[in-house]
Chain A
């Protein structure tokens, strides 16, 4: 047998930060057949113990409980494994093991690894590449811990480093023979400047912080004389929003100023002034490479991506639109093939509804709807209707009638839908799903579409992926199943299984579950399509999708040209705006109700800054059809005729108002793998738009960005009034009396509370209640098969493994 290619699976592994020396044990989540509406059951899984001395797996065990924090209240990091697979000359995808290497006359030392990760958050804001913190292990074949030391030209000296965690080439042995690497992310520490930042011009003694965070001296490594990150601010004289402003363009993120700023904060409540404290976090993303040098022939290589982000604080729920949904849309395209088995479409539709109610139950629906909170003006609270009111400069309106907005009531309604679908009913609600080009429809009809009350990547109301929407539409047209079961005679799995693991099945590779890796390391647990996101900023992937230009991650502005990408001379499109691709608009128009006829007539929601109410659309959905049809081909792109750096531009179709340029659509994935192509995003670019430090995001981004990942409403229960009560997740003391998210309310965790004690303050939610650990509801299952498509382990081997392991050892 020959090896033609290598793969690293999974192609994207998510590490999660935590300072406990012991990573969280392996677990998965599953529906409970008898309690299908309850939270998913957290099930312990076979956990691999990596011996600290030897670097090999010394044994495995199935834990009896999962603890997300250790006794010292330190959060256990999520440390995923990445496994190497070989594509054989028979076209199979098989684990690369020492036996296989042996057949080729090779040993484990023939395999070497290289890991490059970066944190580019400061560089994204300052525009200075020397603010990027990068770590590169170089090629290594040993099995020792390999620290990911992040260096930066603007650090105080060359020795100063920010630790992104470590990686380790796990030494294979007879019992665990596969070639694999483990990524253990960092502790979640905050690094800072060697000198304090200047005071904010908006400084207000009344807003002084009681216990300001102080970066420990050993982590004060950013040299304020070399770089401008500390004290960075969008200068007052730069005002991109001013239509008459002709000065320097400032490439802000969306939302702008997402970084720890000198009090007072948040900036939008203090004159839009944000002075950076110069903080850096130890989150990162990057690329893992593996190389196998055969005795003859060229070395074989493969890549995967890793990222490190905040903990999955709601381990038993999945967000309505997660990263896997968007990646699956890239793999399969936005449509549903007509020949897809009906039971597969049905199962996926049911899974979407399930995740909808899992998301709703962490939203305080009454508050998020824009209801007054105990007589207080709803505009005082951070919600989508309030954001809409600010953006469109219109009066705030609740989304649905106030009397119908309650979490338990809406949750129950979603659960009834779920029940009916499980009973075989076809979805009847396709009409009320928000289309991705309707996200700026602020009429009552538009705002009430589903999903409601949440924000999408373009800052408007969240839409599902086209593929999710088309799943519901297709399911809605299906007849009742045959009385004897599905056409294939098999019930569909839920969520549907991505199919057999083969070299060409990208979805199976994407969803591959590496041995020992908890579910929280997989894309299904990562929020997607958000502003900006938590684990990755998925908007960043699309910036270089057209060879030759670089777009801004959150709108249609061409930031710069990339002349090397095409080999042909393109005219300079910097500052132009991409309006259409192959005739498809990349923008929409914000509309709202006419004050004179609220339900019957809509009007353009123009403002002085945006007279035509133009709203750019998020890339993942607006380019889904283009990517599916034209990858590797040239497409007609219509840009504004002139640079429009600061304003949104509308499409009129008038001659002379636009120019058409043909640009090639880059492949999304690296060759035939499911790895996001490095030509689309280099290390650090998938996280560069996220908050710096990420803890800041938990304060500034309310739950309407990612309700099931950053919960809002917890410990929820009914009251005699018929409505619900509960706690705000960010509430310092649990009283059962919801404290609305108000930046000046001392009862809510503030920025410095999180910087100081984020591990203690952020409470995990198990079953909708504060809980740092869980005991499985059912008897512990035996060690599961890791992938049903892989050959089953031989009984003899299992017995040997047990003998080798003896008693379960302390995990690492």
Chain B
């Protein structure tokens, strides 16, 4: 994590330690790097939070997409399908956290950021090396730890005295020791810590008007921020029925939290909300029936344990690699450490297509925040249309992942190992300064995708022979989608050019 200097990060760990030593009614004073203002520092911390959310989301998606396979019995397939849904709900919720962090950045006048480091990635904030891997007991243990409230000690205290045979008792006697062992394997030093610490520090800095005065806030950005109305898409608890009873929670359903923020209080509330759902339930403002990410992962872990007890080598996942990568984005002779090159030509081409659509999604996402400032936020226009396209790209990533995890990893047709979605970051997410050039960028990415679809469909390449039967119809549909998208982009570009002409 080269862009953050070590001493930027020390303050987080220090702060955590100091909090642990004090009583609840005394608030410790955070510290900051000397060369930075508090506002500057909190923006840096929000960028770190954004990277973590993005990284977690992608990691959970990879784990979820790895699940299933013909090696499972029909009953296990059905059960694993439920685990997949559960992990995907957590990933969707991380998306909400990611957007809320951007809203906080807007409130503080900082640049929005959807960037993250390429995987594998080791971060002092992260409880374990950041990597894409199929779901295993160990990776699941890492997710439980990442989303864990407090620390091992506090958890043990919390669950002490749980009735014999209960889930809590099992968690205490079996899961916690296993998670502890697993985490120690990865993190040799004793400073492993859950993700929520960053939010704790941001929260406490923002809570202090001496550090961040009211004048640092930009409440006028409120209408430009991402809203649940735009991005939530039904992932929300039902309103309470008439009479005031609490709404019935569906534990299998994601409840996306996207908070818009105009004041300090709202900013703190938003931090508590996203922390409570996931990374730091201590901060949660209200007790909700909704299970936290931690609880959801524990549920899967315990079910996983049950399966392993019956069959030691049981695995819910396909044989997908850790940190898959493609030759086009890395040096084939020298792939990044701990990554696995996809050498099957057809699979590599699909992986390129995946990366292309991932880039498309991130570029659209970045652009919507800028468009909010240049178009009428209340009218249907490019911004609204682009939001829908972002969702469309999420669906494409899902479909392409489903195809990739059933395709060979290597050139050897007998090798049972499968490929996986590489989630490789584009070389940049920085948008060109001119609006026209942003649209030319969209155009380029669509054309890239068309080229990849054409190559995959080209009978001379033989790629389709290695592809599952749904691949061909999907590519033709995608090509059709891209044709329509291109017509749309060209129309917008035509309008911008005309405007430019009129201006000049």
Contacts and interface: CB of A to CB of B under 8 A. Distances in A.
Contact of B380 (A366, A431, A485): A366
A448 B406 CA distance: 35
A529 B469 CA distance: 36
B462 interface: no
A746 interface: no
A721 B379 CA distance: 10
Contacts of A593: 239
B476 interface: yes
Interface residues of B, number: 71
Nearest to A366: B380
Contacts of B392: 412-413, 415-417
Interface residues of A, number: 68
A164 to B, nearest CB: 44
B388 interface: yes
Contacts of A366: 380
A477 to B, nearest CB: 6
B487 A723 contact: no
Contacts of B389: 409, 412-413, 416
Given A413-B392, A723-B384, 16 more contacts: A401-B230, A403-B384, A404-B380, A412-B392, A416-B395, A419-B395, A425-B398, A428-B398, A445-B234, A478-B81, A591-B241, A593-B239, A602-B239, A717-B491, A720-B496, A722-B385
Contact of A403 (B80, B239, B381, B405): B381
9 contacts: A403-B380, A406-B381, A416-B481, A420-B395, A480-B68, A480-B406, A601-B239, A722-B488, A723-B384
Q: Which of A422, A445, A449 has the most CB of B within 10 A?
A: A422
A411 B165 CA distance: 52
Contact of B470 (A422, A428, A597): A422
A34 B80 CA distance: 35
A481 B470 contact: yes
A424 B154 CA distance: 44
Identify the interface centre among A36, A420, A601: most chain B CB within 10 Å of its CB.
Answer: A420
Contacts of B491: 717-720
Contacts of A599: 236, 239
Contacts of A800: none
B240 A418 contact: no
B263 interface: no
B337 interface: no
B400 A36 contact: no
B306 interface: no
Nearest to B487: A718
Interface in A348-391: 366, 371
B468 A424 contact: yes
A722 B388 contact: no
Interface in A550-609: 589, 591, 593-594, 597, 599-604
Contacts of B276: none
Interface string A464-497: 0000000000000111111111100001000000
A38 B375 CA distance: 30
State the majority secondary structure of interface residues on B: helix
A481 B468 contact: yes
B496 to A, nearest CB: 7
A419 B396 contact: yes
Interface string B247-288: 100100100000000000000000000000000000000000
Interface string B162-178: 00000000000000000
Contacts of B402: 423-425, 480
B459 interface: no
Interface in A719-750: 719-723
Nearest to B496: A720
B378 interface: yes
A722 B489 CA distance: 8
B403 interface: yes
Given A413-B392, A419-B478, A603 B407 contact: no
A726 to B, nearest CB: 13
A482 B400 CA distance: 15
Contact of B473 (A36, A403, A448, A589): A36
A722 B382 CA distance: 4
B477 A37 contact: yes
B445 to A, nearest CB: 15
A476 B427 CA distance: 35
A606 B391 CA distance: 37
A406 B242 contact: no
Contact of A413 (B391, B471, B488): B391
Given A431-B253, A485-B469, A719 B495 contact: yes
Interface of B: 68, 70, 77-78, 80-81, 88, 227, 229-230, 233-234, 236, 238-242, 244, 247, 250, 253, 375-389, 391-393, 395-396, 398-400, 402-403, 405-407, 468-471, 473-474, 476-478, 480-481, 484-485, 487-488, 491-492, 494-496, 498
B484 A721 contact: no
Contact of A33 (B233, B234, B242, B476): B476
Across the A-B interface, the 10 shortest Cβ-Cβ residue pairs: A720-B495, A722-B382, A416-B392, A423-B399, A423-B474, A406-B380, A424-B470, A483-B406, A420-B395, A409-B385
A409 B407 contact: no
B484 A37 contact: yes
B383 A403 contact: yes
Most buried by A among B227, B378, B488: B488
B477 A36 contact: yes
A485 B393 CA distance: 25
A478 B82 CA distance: 10
B230 A722 contact: no
Nearest to A343: B469
Nearest to A426: B81
B476 A723 contact: no
A404 B388 contact: yes
A405 interface: yes
B502 to A, nearest CB: 12
B458 to A, nearest CB: 14
A424 B474 contact: yes
Contacts of A722: 375, 380-386, 488, 492
A403 B378 contact: yes
Contacts of B388: 404, 409-410, 412-413
B384 A409 contact: yes
A601 B240 CA distance: 5
Given A366-B380, A449-B234, A719-B491, A36 B239 contact: no
A424 B488 contact: no
Contacts of B470: 422-424, 481
Interface string A26-55: 000000011111100000000000000000
Contacts of B233: 432
Contacts of B77: 479
Contact of A600 (B240, B403, B405, B480): B240
A479 B81 contact: yes
A420 B481 CA distance: 11
A38 B395 CA distance: 20
Contacts of A412: 385, 388-389, 392, 481, 484-485, 488
Nearest to A719: B491
A412 B390 CA distance: 11
A547 interface: no
A432 B388 CA distance: 16
A715 interface: no
Contacts of A423: 399-400, 402-403, 470-471, 473-474, 477
A786 to B, nearest CB: 26
A420 B399 contact: yes
A623 interface: no
A553 B247 CA distance: 34
A486 B468 CA distance: 10
Nearest to A401: B229
B236 A445 contact: yes
A306 B473 CA distance: 38
Given A480-B68, A481-B469, A723 B380 contact: yes
A720 B489 CA distance: 9
